[in-house]
Amino acid sequence: MLDRVTSMQVFQKVAALGSFSAAARALGLSQTMVTKHVAALEMRLGVKLLHRSTRKLTLTEGGRNYLAAVERILTEIEEAEASAGLDRIEPRGTLRLNVPVTFGFREIAPALAEFGRLYPSVSVDLGLADRYVELIEEGWDLAIRIGKLKDSSLVVRRLAPCRVILCASPAYLAEHGAPKSLDDLSRHNCLGYTLSSTVSADRWSFGKDADIVVPVKGNLRANNGDALVAAAIAGQGIVYQPTFLVGDSLRNGDLVHLLPDHPTYEPSVYAVFPSGRQIPAKVRAIVDFLADRFAPEPRWDRDL
């Protein structure tokens, strides 16, 4: 079966040059193949497109109408291909970016104003979700993920370190005392995060490789780190959360860093996006922008 778009291109060239042989030379095809393409169109449409004589070719009324439609279609195809090619070179279009809720609110959303000034042809569709999203199935251009990565088929770029630390409010420590070791955590009210397997509601992992696992318990579990930090500031218990979440509270004294000499879990912040031969320029732009913004030391770790 002959390619329909190619047949349209052949027909347009025949109509423009008024000759099968001239169209064949211009397109680098045999005259027989040019004839087959036009015949295939006529058979598919059920309409005679050309009056053929020994001296010249002329368009039928149906041929004139069809030619006008073909020229519009081929122009749109050329524009679509040019646009797609431009997307690989120039950052433009809508960028669908998915990020964890708290990190997105605190670190990504405030950065988008500057990104917009640098790349005015890019608009961002920002999705905030703590669940694991499927990039390709759900139509995301890229995602920011923190911690262990599951899908090895994605392209991954590390953007920044992310320390997880223990902390509690001065009021809690005044009433219950501060833990002197990891074993002491079993005697404290530990506020648990339910969406992580590494720092879960009942098991906290320590050490850079998360190889020291400590069982914990407490009277509050939540699927949002901000809620746990708010409870900790109010004096309810100890939290084990990333510095991007607790850093400001540590700096202003609402929380106190506990066991600072003990190695804690240190995941990383990653940009992940689908693999492919051509990475859209808008994806490269946001990844490079965030990597530069967070380097060499991210804002959330400064002065801690």
- For 186-199, how does the pLDDT look when each residue is reduced to its tens digit (9 = 90+)? 999 999 999 888 88
Q: Based on the fold, state whether residues 284 and 242 are members of the same structural domain.
A: no
Angle 236-267-259 from CA coordinates, rounded to 5°: 45
Q: Based on the fold, state whether residues 251 and 119 are members of the same structural domain.
A: no
Q: Based on the fold, state whether residues 42 and 189 are members of the same structural domain.
A: no
Tokens of 120: 């005015």
Percent of the chain beyond pLDDT 90?
50
Residue 150 belongs to some domain of the structure? yes
Cα(25)–Cα(21) distance, integer angstroms:
6
Closest CA to 14 of 46, 37, 42: 37
The confidence band for 84, taking pLDDT boundaries of 50, 70 and 90, is: low
Q: Based on the fold, state whether residues 151 and 287 are members of the same structural domain.
A: yes
The confidence band for 277, taking pLDDT boundaries of 50, 70 and 90, is: low
pLDDT of residue 203: 92
pLDDT of residue 189: 97
Q: Based on the fold, state whether residues 8 and 80 are members of the same structural domain.
A: yes
Give every strand in the sheet of 256-258, ordered side by side: 239-242, 164-168, 256-258
What average pLDDT does the segment 22-42 reach?
89
Provide the CATH number for the domain around residue 108.
3.40.190.10
Please identify, among 88, 118, 138, the residue that sits at the C-terminal boundary of a domain: 88
Cα(204)–Cα(228) distance, integer angstroms:
15
Q: Based on the fold, state whether residues 145 and 285 are members of the same structural domain.
A: yes
Average pLDDT in the chain: 89
Q: Based on the fold, state whether residues 145 and 273 are members of the same structural domain.
A: yes
pLDDT of residue 130: 87
Q: Based on the fold, state whether residues 179 and 244 are members of the same structural domain.
A: yes
Domain count, the chain: 3
Domain interval for residue 147: 93-160+269-301
Which residue would you say has higher pLDDT here, 79 or 201? Answer: 201
Residue 238 belongs to some domain of the structure? yes
- The answer on pLDDT for 274 being more than 90 is no
Residue 146 belongs to some domain of the structure? yes
- Per-residue pLDDT of 225-234, as tens digits, reads 999 999 999 9
Residue 264 belongs to some domain of the structure? no
Residue 182 belongs to some domain of the structure? yes
pTM for this predicted structure: 0.69
- The answer on pLDDT for 144 being more than 80 is yes
pLDDT of residue 71: 86
pLDDT of residue 1: 56
Q: Based on the fold, state whether residues 75 and 110 are members of the same structural domain.
A: no
What average pLDDT does the segment 243-257 reach?
95
Which residue would you say has higher pLDDT here, 65 or 78? Answer: 65
Residue 156 belongs to some domain of the structure? yes
Residue 263 belongs to some domain of the structure? no
Please identify, among 61, 88, 115, the residue that sits at the C-terminal boundary of a domain: 88
Is 165:240 a contact under the CB 8 Å cutoff?
A: yes
Q: Based on the fold, state whether residues 111 and 239 are members of the same structural domain.
A: no
Q: Based on the fold, state whether residues 168 and 241 are members of the same structural domain.
A: yes
Most confident of the ranges 4-13, 55-64, 214-223, 292-301: 214-223
Residue 89: alpha-carbon gap to chain centroid: 18
pLDDT of residue 256: 97
- Per-residue pLDDT of 113-129, as tens digits, reads 999 999 999 999 999 99
pLDDT of residue 86: 54
pLDDT of residue 15: 86
Peptide linkage before 274 cis (omega within 30 of 0)? no
What average pLDDT does the segment 103-107 reach?
94
Q: Based on the fold, state whether residues 23 and 76 are members of the same structural domain.
A: yes
Provide the CATH number for the domain around residue 66.
1.10.10.10
